[in-house]
Amino acid sequence: MNASRPEDAVELRHLRGFLAVAEELNFTHAASALGVGQPALTRTVRSLEEALGTRLLDRTTRRVELTGAGRRLRDDLAPLLARLDAALRAPGAEPPVLRLGFTSLLPEACAPLTAAFEAATGAGVRLVRRDEPLAGLTAGACDIAVVRGDLPEGVRGQVLLREPRVAVLARGAGPLASRRVVDWAELAAHRLVVNTVTGTTRPELWPAGRRPELACTADNFDEWLEAVAAGHGVGVAPEPVARRYAHPGLRYVRLKNAPPVEVHLAVPAHDPHPLAERYLAAATA
């Protein structure tokens, strides 16, 4: 029977494919995450646009961006598909599970919070690490996420804690690497290595006219760490990185007068998972 409405032609694979691209903003990375070929994923997203009669993505040879319609569809679909996945699992077979997403570093404060949440709800918590903005929250990869820095549109949350920043320097990279304390303003005279995907420090944090130059960028934490160790420039990171990531080629130096990094617990702005709301509430108790 022919579809009587355009949306009747939409299949679940279309929606999953679109959400993967909406999260990655890169067809190659999204196809890899889904385990499909890039041409097939391109056809899938195009079919969804044709069925809905609207463009969801603006594509160029260098980048992919969401249109206004694409952002609205992403925000509405992500929590719905996450709930659908939970519903399709065998009902009653196992205790419910909350997926807690994070990027490169899970704050120590999450351990007691998780233990209290599990004791109060009987639910489990599964950790999901994703080197993606929001740890994959908007694509439905997790139900609640630890997010460092400002929260974008489409999510809401609350501040869990504030972390001091440290300078990350290659060993033997001049006088700066031999000091015990560096002032935030001094870094403006040095070239900066920036993690553009999950990092929290960019030149715009310094006053206009007194900002560090950009040395190079990285799109994941490990690449960023190695770029600093190779001497491409200085890095800045939350203080827990210094305690958890020992590296023979790096030295961590305390920063004074640096703005702290706000660490949020974030959920989708619309229709979050009920367990995510309980976890968020436990953080304020």
pLDDT per residue, tens digit, the chain (285 aa), is 444 566 677 888 899 899 889 888 888 888 887 878 888 899 999 999 988 989 999 988 778 899 999 988 988 888 888 777 766 665 555 678 999 999 988 999 999 999 999 988 889 999 999 988 899 898 888 999 999 999 988 899 999 999 999 999 999 878 888 999 999 999 999 999 999 989 999 999 999 999 999 999 998 999 999 999 999 999 999 999 999 999 999 999 999 999 999 999 999 988 888 899 999 988 886
With tokens 């022919």, the residue in question is 2
Residue 1: predicted pLDDT: 42
Residue 125: predicted pLDDT: 95
DSSP per-residue letters across 147-212: EES---TTEEEEEEEEE-EEEEEETTSSGGGG-SEEEGGGGGGS-EEEETTT----GGGSPTTS-P
List, in order, residues 6 or more apart from 224 with CB less than 8 Å away: 193, 194, 195, 199, 218, 235
Report the greatest alpha carbon distance in the chain: 75
* Residue 235 host element (H or E): strand 235-238
Residues 176, 180: Cα–Cα separation, whole Å: 9
Residue 35: predicted pLDDT: 78
* Residue 252 host element (H or E): strand 250-256
